[in-house]
Chains A and B, each alone.
Chain A
Amino acid sequence: MKFLDAARDKISIPLLISAVTVAVVMMVGNHLMLDQIHEEAVRQANRQQENSMMAFWELMNRRGRNFHIENGRMILGDYYVLNGANELPDKIFCLTGSRATIFMGDTRVATNVLKQDGSRAIGTRLSGPAYDAVFREGIQYRGEANILGAPYFTAYDPIRDLNGKVIGALFVGVKQSEYLARYDRINVKIGVINGALAAIFVLCVVMLGRNRKRAEAEIKRQLNFQQQLMDTIPSPIFAKDAQGRYTLCNKAFQGYVGLSKEQLLGHSVFDLWEPDLARKYHQMDQEIMEAPEIQVYESQVSHADGSKRDVIFHKAAVRDDAGVAQGLVGVLLDITERKAVEQQSRRIEAQKHHSRMIESLMIQLNHDLNTPLTPLFALIPMIRAKVSDPGVERMLEICQQCVNQIQGLAGKAFDLVRISSSQPRLIPVSLCAAAESALNEMAQPLAQRGVICCNAIPPDLQVLGSAEQLTLLFKNLLSNAARYAAQNGKVIIDAELKGAEVEVSVQDDGIGLDQEQLTRVFDEFYKADTARHDLNTQGLGLAICRRIVANHDGRLWATSPGAGRGTTMLFTLKPVGQQPPAIDEDDQAREPDPESYQI
């Protein structure tokens, strides 16, 4: 049963039934054929008995024509006693292979039919249908008969005396078992061969079936593998038949469009998508079905979140052996982000271009301003040296200051544009050295007001920055300090590592700033009240500082205890070993000191 169950599991029932039916038909056919052969053999045996009988009569006739019974013996002719004349049956056996008997009445008197003990069956009697035919009806008998318990092909002829009375009988016959032994052997052989063939056939069918099952299982496994593979691929994948109906899709596709497999498969683009998009998809599908290459085009897809996404379709037709398109396969590539990045890049590029334009404009403007300033700058001191009138001298001094202011403005405006036009490359820089360089450049204006400057930055402190911009930053802060520090006052530059930042301070003891000034001091062209009419300042210094600190991802702010009590300018930089991070929410959320303004 287990085998049957297993077989049932592995091969289909109709196939098994068919195989068994064919085997049975084969066997029945063989059987019928063997029956035919058997019948023919029987006919042949009967014919042989006929011939044997004729030979027996011939043999008898040579010894005499008449039979009669005399003294309990059957005599042929005048004297040939048939009782015990076993040589006659033996002769027939020699001639024809048939056994023979001479009956006197119904009793065997000469025979080579053997009893079970191997002796001649003399004295035994005839019975059955042969007896009835010969002795009751007086006719010959042909056919099968049971002799001493064994079936024979037989022929019985009655022996009559001169009066026509049946007085005995002649018998010839062969034991069926002996005659049909060869046939039986062939029969057995054919049966065996037949059975073997049927078994082989059934076995072949079973194996074929099992192979088919195995192939089906393999195909199923392959399909599972393919589905798994497709589901693992993050790109949306789909396939359609020749009628444009979805026949396959992976999980990424389902997730992307927000529809289940059941909602997708069997439906066309017109069932699923907006008419405009559906028409375009359909048109492109039609094109690829007729083209041999891979189709790549940009389009849009309604995403699961309801938005329209920019995508690139890659499609190819699937063809049969004759080259007829049976459908198509397609892959989606979402380029929404890429397009956004491209747009962003274009915007940045446009901004850069704009910056470059402004920079080049400023360079030109700077040059064009400096060129006419050169004669003024060169000649005014020479004129001043030649005049002695204090009024004219005062006028020339004003002219000189105006020229100074224009020169400073041109320089600062250029600085501002230059540092704003591109992000500097930040490398490890010695902060102390940058401050020192600025101090050297500003030594003269500081000394003019007797301001002492102390650079307390640790010499080994390094920050990520642009040395040129940091020097410019210190220069501008020191320039302010030189201007607003107390006469003969003190400026202290310091820096310390605070958490992940370096906090730098430039502290003076000068006029200080009130709350409003603290908030506006970093604006372009803003000047603290007392400096508003100072022709030597431009109001761009702190705006430049603000930009430089922004370029370094830092913060810049000012604190002051109030007017007349000094100002501290503070800014942060990244120490070496810290990558400049994007501005995080903490920075924005951090509340500035009430007495400080932070940008």
Chain B
Amino acid sequence: MNRRVMIVDDNEYVRASVDIICESARLELASAASGPECLEQLEAGFRGVILMDIMMPEMDGWDTIREMVDRGLYPGNIIVMLTGMGEPDSKMEGLQEYVSDYMTKPFTPEELLDSIEYYLTLLNAPVGHD
């Protein structure tokens, strides 16, 4: 059963706290500090739920998704965007279909775990999530 989660965020404390929450729930967490790191791990074979921050320096969340799709790394993953209110959305044009959910920062451990568990269930379902 796939219980792999990847947090993509440039803030190391966010990554660390997500790590702690996931560990408490026995989830297998991969951590990426940037878009390129995320792509690297996907190239290395990661498949699971990706928690993607939108505002990151240089390559933001949307750029990373675009690259994922272009490189054929999207299938087998579920993307949940981590967003603040009013963040730029002009770049999401044509990419929403690859995003399963949005989670507003800050979030409580329950909110995060509920969301992750829900999408892992979908991912592990016999009729695979496309």
Closest CB in chain A relative to B107 CB, distance in Å? 6
Given that A372-B13, A378-B17 are contacting pairs, would A366 and B107 also be in contact in the complex, using a CB cutoff of 8 Å? Answer: no
Give chain A interface residues in 389-415, CB to chain B under 8 Å: 403, 407, 411, 414
Closest CB in chain A relative to B58 CB, distance in Å? 16
Q: Which residues from chain B contact A377 at a C-beta distance below 8 Å?
A: 106-108
Q: Which residues from chain B contact A367 at a C-beta distance below 8 Å?
A: 55, 84, 87, 105
- The reply on A375 being an interface residue by CB < 8 A is yes
Which of B18-26, B28-36, B69-77, B121-129 is near enough to bind chain A?
B18-26
Given that A375-B16, A378-B21, A382-B21 are contacting pairs, would A370 and B86 also be in contact in the complex, using a CB cutoff of 8 Å? Answer: no
Closest CB in chain A relative to B113 CB, distance in Å? 10
Q: Which residues from chain B contact A373 at a C-beta distance below 8 Å?
A: 105-106
Closest CB in chain A relative to B20 CB, distance in Å? 7
Q: In chain B, what residue has the closest Cβ to A365?
A: B84
A374 touches B109 (CB 8 A): no
A370 touches B88 (CB 8 A): no
B87 touches A374 (CB 8 A): no
Distance of A411 Cα from B87 Cα, bound (Å):
12
Q: How many A-B residue pairs have CB under 8 A?
A: 67
Q: Which of these, A379, A407, A411, contacts B17 with CB under 8 Å? A: A379
B105 touches A371 (CB 8 A): yes
Q: Which of these, B16, B87, B106, B109, contacts A382 with CB under 8 Å? A: B109
Most chain A beta-carbon contacts within 10 A, residue among B14, B20, B84: B84
B11 touches A381 (CB 8 A): no
- The reply on B85 being an interface residue by CB < 8 A is yes
Q: Which residues from chain B contact A382 at a C-beta distance below 8 Å?
A: 20-21, 24, 109
A378 touches B85 (CB 8 A): no
Q: In chain B, what residue has the closest Cβ to A383?
A: B20
- The reply on A418 being an interface residue by CB < 8 A is yes
Closest CB in chain B relative to A271 CB, distance in Å? 63
Distance of A375 Cα from B18 Cα, bound (Å):
8
Q: Which of these, B13, B24, B55, B88, contacts A375 with CB under 8 Å? A: B13
Q: Which residues from chain A contact B110 at a C-beta distance below 8 Å?
A: 381
Closest CB in chain B relative to A472 CB, distance in Å? 11
Q: In chain B, what residue has the closest Cβ to A367?
A: B84
Q: Which of these, B55, B88, B107, contacts A374 with CB under 8 Å? A: B107
Distance of A371 Cα from B82 Cα, bound (Å):
10
A378 touches B87 (CB 8 A): no
Q: Which residues from chain B contact A374 at a C-beta distance below 8 Å?
A: 11, 13-14, 17, 82, 105-107
Give chain B interface residues in 75-115, CB to chain A under 8 Å: 82, 84-88, 105-110, 112
B106 touches A370 (CB 8 A): yes
Q: Mark A345-359, 1 if CB is under 8 A from B, else 0.
A: 000000000000001
**B contact residues, total (Cβ < 8 Å):** 24
Q: Which of these, B18, B20, B84, B108, contacts A363 with CB under 8 Å? A: B84
Q: In chain A, what residue has the closest Cβ to B105?
A: A370
Distance of A411 Cα from B104 Cα, bound (Å):
11
- The reply on A376 being an interface residue by CB < 8 A is yes
A414 touches B85 (CB 8 A): yes
Closest CB in chain B relative to A317 CB, distance in Å? 55
Distance of A363 Cα from B88 Cα, bound (Å):
8
Distance of A374 Cα from B111 Cα, bound (Å):
12
Distance of A403 Cα from B105 Cα, bound (Å):
12
Closest CB in chain A relative to B25 CB, distance in Å? 11
Q: Which of these, A362, A370, A371, A378, contacts B112 with CB under 8 Å? A: A378
Q: Which residues from chain B contact A371 at a C-beta distance below 8 Å?
A: 9, 11, 14, 84, 105
Distance of A373 Cα from B13 Cα, bound (Å):
10
A376 touches B106 (CB 8 A): yes
Distance of A372 Cα from B18 Cα, bound (Å):
12
Q: In chain A, what residue has the closest Cβ to B24?
A: A382
Distance of A507 Cα from B55 Cα, bound (Å):
41
Most chain B beta-carbon contacts within 10 A, residue among A362, A366, A370, A403: A370
Q: Which residues from chain B contact A366 at a C-beta distance below 8 Å?
A: 84-87
Closest CB in chain B relative to A330 CB, distance in Å? 51
A379 touches B85 (CB 8 A): no
Q: In chain B, what residue has the closest Cβ to A418?
A: B86
Distance of A29 Cα from B112 Cα, bound (Å):
131
B88 touches A378 (CB 8 A): no
Q: Which residues from chain B contact A362 at a C-beta distance below 8 Å?
A: 86
Given that A372-B13, A373-B106, A374-B107 are contacting pairs, would A363 and B87 also be in contact in the complex, using a CB cutoff of 8 Å? Answer: yes
Q: Which residues from chain A contact B55 at a C-beta distance below 8 Å?
A: 367
Q: Which residues from chain A contact B108 at a C-beta distance below 8 Å?
A: 377-378, 381
Q: In chain A, what residue has the closest Cβ to B11?
A: A371
Q: Which of these, A363, A379, A407, contacts B86 with CB under 8 Å? A: A363
Q: Which residues from chain A contact B11 at a C-beta distance below 8 Å?
A: 371-372, 374
Q: Which residues from chain A contact B109 at a C-beta distance below 8 Å?
A: 378-379, 381-382
B17 touches A414 (CB 8 A): no
Closest CB in chain A relative to B94 CB, distance in Å? 22
Q: Which residues from chain B contact A378 at a C-beta distance below 8 Å?
A: 17-18, 20-21, 106-109, 112
Distance of A382 Cα from B107 Cα, bound (Å):
13
Closest CB in chain A relative to B104 CB, distance in Å? 8
Q: Which residues from chain B contact A407 at a C-beta distance below 8 Å?
A: 106
Distance of A378 Cα from B13 Cα, bound (Å):
11
Most chain A beta-carbon contacts within 10 A, residue among B17, B107, B112: B17
Q: Which of these, B13, B17, B84, contacts A370 with CB under 8 Å? A: B84
B20 touches A379 (CB 8 A): yes
Distance of A367 Cα from B109 Cα, bound (Å):
19
Closest CB in chain B relative to A375 CB, distance in Å? 4
Distance of A359 Cα from B88 Cα, bound (Å):
11
In the assembled complex, 24 residue pairs joining A and B whose CB atoms fall closer than 8 Å, in A order, are: A363-B84, A367-B55, A367-B87, A370-B106, A371-B105, A372-B11, A372-B13, A373-B105, A374-B11, A374-B82, A374-B106, A374-B107, A375-B13, A376-B106, A378-B18, A378-B106, A378-B107, A379-B17, A379-B20, A382-B21, A382-B109, A414-B85, A414-B86, A418-B86
The 9 closest A-B pairs by CB, nearest first: A377-B106, A375-B17, A370-B105, A373-B106, A374-B106, A375-B13, A367-B84, A378-B17, A370-B84
Q: For the A-B complex with A370-B105, A374-B11 known, give 5 more contacts whose Cβ atoms are closer than 8 Å.
A: A363-B88, A375-B13, A377-B108, A407-B106, A414-B86
